[in-house]
Amino acid sequence: MTTRRILKLTGADAETFLQGLTTNDLGGLDLGLVYTAMLTPQGKYLADFLLSRREGAILLDVAADLADMLIKRLTMYKLRADVTLEEAGLNLQRGTGPAPEGALTDPRHKALGWRAYSDAPESDDGSDWDAIRVAHLIPETGIELTPDTFILEARFEALNGVDFRKGCYVGQEVTARMKHKTELRKGLAQVRIDGSAPVGTQITANGKPAGVLYTQSGGRAIAYLRFDRANDQMEAADARLWREAEPVS
């Protein structure tokens, strides 16, 4: 389980502050969890996280190894805004079985189940998260999502992580251009795999670079592919790969 840190934003400007920085429309906070991200001005990934309302505050659920960087970045943008950012003193519990009282549905995909926040230790119900992510092509922080990632290539639109009708945010211009003016030539895809190879292994097709292999489970894997080279002759180290059809939500 990826260790998470739960931060808390309070203050009169907290929601408008985040609305102007992140990829999704925070109007969805009235309905539950919102999946969103912060980008560089060049449109590349900085961090992805989940937001929710709680007792007049906004909780921010982020991978622990990105938390300090994210705090610094948010503090840099805060200026004179009425926003206080601090540790929430809560931990994440998550699972795919019966949800406890107060749990919230993960907005990325129904197969990811629920998330809850309390002062109990961080925990999950033993679900096979890699299998779930591979089956539904869901990227993970620090594995498929890296500083080189463009979020549309990482399926953020399919995962309810970006809104194209909201106002400006950092990196919005590049993201909108990729959506409306270009056809994606690279991105995450599901592949069948015969054999195995370490995460990060280069994929080749007919001897040419075709992508990178990531999470593997049950004879399938998540791969970042150059679509014009993805074919039935792909290899990653000693493993053979075949591109699969897009998963059905």
In the predicted structure, residue 1 carries a pLDDT above the cut 80: no
CB 84 within 8 A of CB 10: yes
Q: Spell out the alpha helix ranges (H) of the chain.
A: 14-19, 64-78, 129-136, 172-180
Spatial separation of the C-alpha atoms in residues 114 and 150, rounded to whole Å = 26
pLDDT band at 247 (very low <50, low <70, confident <90, very high): confident
Q: Which residue has the tokens 């970042």?
A: 224
Q: HSE of 132 in the Cβ direction (CA atoms, 13 Å)?
A: 15
pLDDT tens, residue by residue, 20-46:
999 999 999 999 999 999 999 999 999
Domains of the chain: 4-179 (3.30.1360.120), 185-243 (2.40.30)
Q: What is the DSSP letter of 247?
A: P
From first CA to last CA, the distance across the chain in angstroms is 23
pLDDT band at 249 (very low <50, low <70, confident <90, very high): low
For the beta sheet containing 91-95, the strands, ordered from the edge strand earlier in sequence to the opposite edge, are 104-105, 114-118, 91-95, 123-124
List 188's β-bridge partners, or say none: 224
- The mean pLDDT of 41-55, rounded to a whole number, is 97
What local confidence, expressed as pLDDT, does residue 232 receive? 84
pLDDT tens, residue by residue, 201-222:
999 999 999 999 999 999 999 9
CB 111 within 8 A of CB 158: no
What local confidence, expressed as pLDDT, does residue 245 receive? 84
Q: What is the pTM of this model?
A: 0.95
In the predicted structure, residue 16 carries a pLDDT above the cut 80: yes
- Going from the C-alpha of 51 to that of each of 25, 57, 174, 181, 248, the distances in angstroms are 11, 10, 23, 30, 26
What local confidence, expressed as pLDDT, does residue 63 receive? 98
Spatial separation of the C-alpha atoms in residues 231 and 228, rounded to whole Å = 8
